[in-house]
Amino acid sequence: MNRATRTLRFFALLILYCIAARGFSQNAKLQLDILNKLGEKAARSTDITLDGSMLNFIASVIEKLDDEGDQDVAQLKSIIKGLKGIYIKSFEFDAPGQYSKEDVEAVRSQLGSRWTRIVQSIDKRNHEHDEIYLMKNGDKVAGVVILVAEAREFSVVNIVGDVPIEKISALERHIAANDDDSHRKKPKKGSGHDEE
Amino acid sequence: MHFSDDDLRAALKRKDPGEGFTQRVMARVEQAKAEGDRQPSRKGLALPSWWTRRPVWAFAIIALLLLGFAWAGYEYSEYRHDQTARRQHQQLEEAQRQQQEAEQARDQAMMALRIARSKLNHVLEQAQIPVATDQIRRQRL
């Protein structure tokens, strides 16, 4: 093998490595824009996109906010520290059957072999199919997808980065209480479960 | 040294100055005149004659000029003061705007995490997994 061939092979491998590394770092983020059409039928829809730059901005500004004693902000800081993105699409409908299996499959099909389903809950009586998927990168979590497909609700939560699930799950009740207040002002018709 | 008559006659004989003598002389005259113009005139430095003839007017003009300068200085200091106050006001507004943006961003992040928490705990409850999520914690380790 002459020198030119070796150099060529080296650069080809380098390019492949870069492409693989790029794909590896990106594929924890799902394409959720395909669900936008459900917004027309939904009685209530929530769309949150906090990408890496936005989370960096939030991390930098909450440092500046004079909330040193605020427990919410302390929790927020510790949670978003390792995150690269939070993407949420949530649709609540007045009547069942407003979204199709294809809509759910469109999301599920993006969860390739690197994703592991860690929780699945199927309730056929109530047409509920809830799942949690996890992507790991070595010892760390690279991404989480929470899929809630119920009769009157379809929600996808995609968190990219080192997700501290136990911290999110154990978020202080008083943070949730703030949410309850805001929701009580706008009573829901669907079967949502933000009001815990 | 002895000079003969012929030598003296030859020495004192009239000679032709050559062609262009007049032009050379006139050029020298013009040059001398130009140099004279460049010299500062003593007359220009002297006080105008009316100054000595009407000193009251002269002092009135000086007083007016001084008043004018004083007024201009006062106006300038007021202008600077206004500019500084305006800049401080803009900085305050900018700081308030940034604070608002920061609070909005924080609230948005909190809302995102609240929803994530709500959905996560809902799924875990549906799957009859304790919310403490030992299983998930084990998965992470």
For the stretch A136-155, pLDDT in tens is 888 888 899 999 999 999 99
Residue A130 backbone dihedrals phi, psi, to 5 degrees: -115, 140
For position B86, what pLDDT does the model report? 96
Q: A64-114: per-residue pLDDT in tens?
A: 765 556 666 777 777 888 888 999 999 999 998 899 999 999 999 999 888
Query: Is B138 an interface residue toward A (CB < 8 Å)?
Result: no
Determine how many CB atoms are found less than 10 A away from the CB of residue A13.
10
| Predicted confidence band of residue A187 (pLDDT cuts 50, 70, 90) | very low
Instruction: Say yes or no to pLDDT of A173 above 90.
Output: no
Contact (CB<8Å) A176/B114: yes
Q: What type of residue is A90?
A: S
Instruction: Say yes or no to pLDDT of A181 above 60.
Output: no
Instruction: Say yes or no to pLDDT of B113 above 90.
Output: no
Q: Which residues of A touch B121 (CB under 8 A)?
A: 169, 196
Least confident of A30-39, B60-69, B100-109: B100-109
Mean of per-residue pLDDT scores for chain B: 82
For position A21, what pLDDT does the model report? 58
Q: Which residues of A touch B129 (CB under 8 A)?
A: 119
For position A156, what pLDDT does the model report? 94
For position A126, what pLDDT does the model report? 84
- pTM value is 0.60
Query: Is A74 an interface residue toward B (CB < 8 Å)?
Result: no
Query: Is A119 an interface residue toward B (CB < 8 Å)?
Result: yes
Determine how many CB atoms are found less than 10 A away from the CB of residue A129.
19
Maximal C-alpha separation, chain A:
74
Least confident of A143-152, A183-192, B86-95: A183-192
For position B93, what pLDDT does the model report? 95
Q: Using an 8 Å Cβ cutoff, are A156 and A32 in contact?
A: yes
Which comes out higher in pLDDT, residue B90 or B40? B90
The secondary structure of A9-35 as a DSSP string is: HHHHHHHHHHHHHHHHHHTTS---GGG
CA distance A149 to A91: 10
Q: What percent of chain A has pLDDT over 70?
A: 77
